[in-house]
Amino acid sequence: MTRETIVKGGSVEAAEETRREEAALRPRWLREVIGQKPVVERLQIAINACRKLQEPLGHMLFDGPPGLGKTTFATVLPNELGAPLQITSGPALTKPADLLPYLTNAKEGSFIFIDEIHRTPRIVEEFLYSAMEDFRVGIPIGEGLNARTVWMKLNRFTLIGATTRSGMLTGPMRDRFKHHEHLEFYQPDELAQIVTINAGKLRTSIRPEAALELAQRSRGTPRIAIARLWWARHFAASESDGALTLDVTRAALAKAEVDAAGLDKQDRRYLETLIGVFGGGPTGVEALAATMSIATDTLTDEVEPFLLREQFIVRTPRGRQATPRAYQHLGRALSAANAAPVDSTQPRQLFE
């Protein structure tokens, strides 16, 4: 197909655009967002106020663990207000000059989204202060005694920041965001709705009990739920008739080594190392990382958060320690030093 065909053949281009839109799994409108109900309600109020007052939305900061929808909200808000959106990330902004094109190209009422804003260098963060507060930027001209600063007026825009570590932002930066929303983990019924809707977008038949099974093993995180839906869909297409029943879904998750509690192979290896090698702890994360031949950052950022939240481990002044739930989950007997023993002859079934 030539370029002329694509441009002139409006129906062909429209059909392709429709296909891309149907395949897109991310919500496009606030009404399509499932979960995070208090956040959605506050955002709807802010949007309604901006429409009535005919002014841009205030700068907004979204924080929370990865995969909970920070980027989704950042793309939904411009759609709701019919405004353009520019997207960048903190690590990509190494100097103020990297930020200037986004600021100068921002139209009145448009949005600039900075993902991982906590990784923005301090010099860039300080450059943003006047842009966010006064909608102007100072551009240095010349050097030495002849140096001067020329102030450039900007169109009023809305900055949206997303971060997993809001504590790494400086106080002055946080204070310039008029809205600060923290995203919470999702409930299984909310994730089941997300799985069902996305299965429909993927033209995959899924039973309600299969959607709930995927939801219960997805750590309360939509990104993980959708990733596991993709795997289950491929498994069903390869090993079955393509439909996601409860049995097919459980078989797919077992093949991916995701157990009934949502733990994957690396999570269980962490617990096995902590219990089997270090006697349940307490032990330092560096010792665990060295024993498992895994980077310490990988354990602290990817493995431990879920194990801590689900109370499989605890952090003590002397290091990480396994809880009775971890012993029970692996079917291990507790030592007298850690807790009362459990019946190790009846280990919990990991893969149902």
Q: Active-site residues: which are they?
A: 70-71, 115, 164, 223
Q: Taking the alpha carbons of 18, 20, 21, 23 in that order, is the dihedral positive or negative?
A: positive
Tell me the backbone φ, ψ of residue 149, rounded to 5 degrees: -115, 125
Three-state SS for 221?
coil
Q: Which amino acid is at 60?
A: M
Which residue reads 């280990």 in tokens?
347
Using an 8 Å Cβ cutoff, are 202 and 233 in contact? yes
C-alpha to C-alpha distance for 158 and 127, rounded to whole angstroms: 16
Using an 8 Å Cβ cutoff, are 204 and 197 in contact? no
Q: What is the DSSP letter of 181?
A: E
Angle between helices 222-239 and 246-255 (to 10 degrees): 100
